[in-house]
Amino acid sequence: MTGLYDVSHRHEEGAATVARHPVPKGQPILELRGLQKKYGAVEALKPASLTFLCGEIHAIVGENGAGKSTLIKLLTGVIRRTSGEVFWCGQPVQLSNPTEAIARGINAVHQEVVLCPHLSVAANMFLGDEMNNNGLMRKGAMTAAAQAVLNDLGFNLPAAATLSSLTIGQQQLVATARAAMRGTQFLIFDEPTAYLTRQESAQLFRLIRRLQGEGVTIVYISHRMEEVFELADRVSVLRDGTHVGTRKISETNDAELIALMINRTIEQIYHKETLPIGATILETRGLTGPGFEDVSLSVRAGEIVGLYGLIGAGRSEFALGLYGRQPVRSGEIYWQGKKVEIRNERQAMNLGIALAPESRRDQGLCLNLPIGLNINLPVFDRLTSGFTINRRREIDNADRQIRDLKIKTPTRRVLASAMSGGNQQKIVIGKWLSHGAKLFIFDEPTVGVDVGTKAEIYRLFARLLEQGAGIILISSYLPEVYELADRLHVFRQGKLVASHGYRGGSHEDVLTQAIGV
Amino acid sequence: MTVEATTEAAPVPKRGMNILFGLTLLGLLLFLWLVLGFATNSFWTPNNISNLLRQGAMTAILAVGQTFVIITAGIDLSVGAVVGFASVAVAWLLAAGVPLWLAMIITLLIGVLIGAFHAFGIVRMGLPAFIITLATLTSLRGIGLLITNGSTISITNEAFTNFSRADFLGVPSLFWMVIVVAIPAYVFLHLSRWGRYLFAVGSNSEAARLSGVNVNRTIYLAYILSSTCAAFVGLLLASRIGIGNATQAEGWELQAIASSVIGGTSLFGAVGSVQGPLLGAFILATINNGANLLNVNSFWQRIITGALIIIIVYFDQLRRRGSR
């Protein structure tokens, strides 16, 4: 049996297949003894001993930089361990390269989709394992087979469509379907729901349970506590490269896990202070542009205006329109009472608008450049005296943001790509703190960010509000906007369809308005 | 947490590695000079060194211009053709009786216009840099041949042709031109905000745009600088060979790209320096010069150059992966 679906031709050719239940359910399938990884002098993973039981859903939680990614890379053979032993079904194994891991049935679904965007969904699902007829691809057969798999999984996705025409969330589902289709004994999910809508998450969870029912062992990495409690049988906590404990899910709770993860208790993640609301900073009237229609809203000093909706509902598009990145077709923008036109990003910045965009990777950061350059990018004109940059001011500004935001790096010269998600988000925010704005737009600021950093970001919001700024907070994560926003606007299909006061309406109301049922 | 407490928790900073890489190239260059000094009698003669500096100078200037473009993750394939075209332009202008200073300014302005046209094609028409500069590569040769009707235009202006043979403080004037270009280029790329913008655009143009960087203007700047450097080299070449000929400088664009890449510039953008391509250009010039002195078949020189590109870029890749 090659997996859930026997559509792979591998089977026909009698290539290596994996046994369905390599070990009895509940027995150790993968055992790590003193597994350790060092990069030079840096110990990314301190000797960890962990056991994964056959057929369980094993969650792994920890802050960014806790060693979760290192652990995944070790298990999938992307990197080699420095020391320690790994036992697969009781036998010692090397897991020295990805091929070996895959041959044993260890697969991973990554947070960022690693598929070919220009190929069709079906072609991606069969990538590297195409059905062929004497070397010629059987495209029709593959599309049909892929469609059958997708339908069966309950994913409403067209197998013939080009992958890039799907949303990131849908692409994630394709990646999962691909892993499910292949011979998988042991499937690792790395924050799979970071870009998924609620419906997509629900579909994914059903699939995960189903795989579990088939005897597949699941490792589930997530920042979202409620997902861990919904899905997992057991949970292991990593902190600063150390495995600090494993609990049965029935014998633990949020508070204990968070305490283990950050070694301190957060009495309140959603830090909300009620501040006096000041004058209106920004008002839009009937703003219409690509992807959003007739949006009228206002932001006042000292308040957070939340924009909630499914991905593609027009929230980010509205933000880009407001920021001058996308042309606005009609409608008016009033800045501190005066009518303004914003034609490009520079104009928006000069007014005092800052945008921390949705995707850190694609819009927020120059990943292969140093942290310092990223932080200073919006303000180089101010760091320049004469023709050249004032080196002292450049260094001071970068170092100040790194210090203030507690970005975990030895120097500003480290490349942004070397940072974890939470630290990258801090760099994006740091850019705009040094710019100094009156209106901050945060688009999905806490995607892929750990609990500790989340709390830091929320405290930062409070600090900005105290200084008299206004905030537009865009999020797909309802508890976040619900708990933080003074006013919450719901977007659906490009339009603003409902508005609530602070904690107005129930979660269900807001969700229903966003989905439109 | 304090900054000090996490000192060892992230990868090695990059700057030390860059200096190291620069030193490695310099070491390679000095090593080549040493070896050639031992292997031949004629290498360390004033004549040969002057010759070497002249040979390397023009590629070096082209490579610096090319590097600006490559840092933005672009490519300029037209520079060789621009050199040839500029030589025709200045020769034609001089033959038409235009004063030397004006002829030189007009030639440089032609370089500016060609660069602006490249950027226009990229920014406004949405063409890949590879395509638009490939198109001008072939068209400019054609226009040059049309103007000269396939022949060459001789330059009779002695002051102009003497320049390339002249020395200043015992160093060939052509090499001085490298310094004249390199110092402002260094200030521009490494000390001014425009340089930072080039890197930002090459790394992630969308992030740069959202940070208020005028991406289009930055692209214009890069291509104009590259073409202007090429037009400048065209002047130097015309001065050196005393003619304007549209087919001159054949394949120099590849020399320039090779020098830049050997000098540590990444074709994926956002990595590069001014000193790197300079060293790269003189390493290539030394290899050609040495091969001539050692009577190595000139066909071998091409093979050696190719092998060198592979080896150096491979080691550069290893270094980058190591620093991750």
Residue B132 CB: number of other CB atoms within 10 A?
A: 22
Distance between CA B7 and CA A119 in Å, rounded?
A: 43
B169 within a domain of the structure (yes/no): yes
pLDDT at B230: 97
CB A192 within 8 A of CB A164: no
State how beta strands A470-475 and A42-53 pair: unpaired
Average pLDDT over residues A449-469: 87
Judged on CB neighbours under 10 Å (0-12, 13-18, 19+), B322 is exposed
Q: Does B210 touch chain A (CB under 8 A)?
A: yes
User: In terms of Cα–Cα distance, which of B303, B304, B263 is closest to B281?
Assistant: B263
Distance from CA of A175 to the nearest CA of B (A): 26
In the predicted structure, residue B87 carries a pLDDT above the cut 90: yes
B140 within a domain of the structure (yes/no): yes
- The chain B residue lying nearest A409, using CA atoms, is B10
ipTM for the predicted complex comes to 0.83
Average pLDDT over residues A155-163: 87
Q: Does A264 touch chain B (CB under 8 A)?
A: no
Task: Kindly report whether the global pTM for this prediction surpasses the value 0.90.
Answer: no
Q: Which of A367, A368, A429, A434 to mutate to test the interface with B (most CBs of B within 10 A)?
A: A368
Distance between CA B155 and CA A95 in Å, rounded?
A: 70
Distance from CA of B310 to the nearest CA of A (A): 22
B164's CB contacts (< 8 A; 6+ apart) are B54, B173, B174, B236, B239, B240
Q: Is the dihedral of CA A225, A228, A229, A234 positive or negative?
A: negative
Distance from CA of B213 to the nearest CA of A (A): 7
- Enumerate the CATH 3.40.50.300 domain ranges in chain A, comma separated: 9-26+55-78+105-262, 280-515
Residue B244 token pair: 């304007």
Least confident of A148-152, B196-200, B275-279: A148-152
CATH architecture of A9-26+55-78+105-262: 3-Layer(aba) Sandwich (3.40)
Contact yes or no for A366 and B212 at CB 8 A: no
Segments forming the whole domain that contains residue B156: 60-249
- The chain B residue lying nearest A403, using CA atoms, is B3
Residue numbers in B near A366 (CB within 8 A):
199-200, 203-204, 207-208, 270
Number of inter-chain CB pairs under 8 A, A vs B? 112
CATH class of A280-515: alpha beta
Distance from CA of A240 to the nearest CA of B (A): 10
Q: Is B205 helix (H, G, I), strand (E, B) or coil?
A: helix
Find the Cα–Cα–Cα–Cα dihedral A381, A384, A387, A391, rounded to 10°. Answer: -140
Judged on CB neighbours under 10 Å (0-12, 13-18, 19+), A385 is exposed
Percent of chain B with pLDDT over 70: 91
Question: Over the stretch A82-106, which tens digit does the pLDDT of each residue have?
Answer: 999 999 988 999 888 888 888 888 8
Q: Does A430 touch chain B (CB under 8 A)?
A: no
A56's CB contacts (< 8 A; 6+ apart) are A26, A212, A217, A218, A233, A234
In chain B, the number of structural domains is 1
Residue A75 token pair: 């298990």
N-terminal to C-terminal alpha carbon distance within chain B: 23
Average pLDDT over residues A320-332: 92
B118 within a domain of the structure (yes/no): yes
**Helix, strand and coil in chain B, % to nearest 5:** 75, 0, 25
Name residue A294's amino acid: D
Distance between CA A71 and CA A79 in Å, rounded?
A: 9
Name residue A330's amino acid: S
Could you tell me the CA-to-CA distances from A261 to A63, A233, A450 in Å, in that order?
Answer: 6, 18, 10
pLDDT at B321: 63
User: In terms of Cα–Cα distance, which of B96, B74, B55, B31 is closest to B233?
Assistant: B55
Question: Over the stretch A422-441, which tens digit does the pLDDT of each residue have?
Answer: 889 999 999 988 888 899 99
Residue numbers in A near B206 (CB within 8 A):
362-363
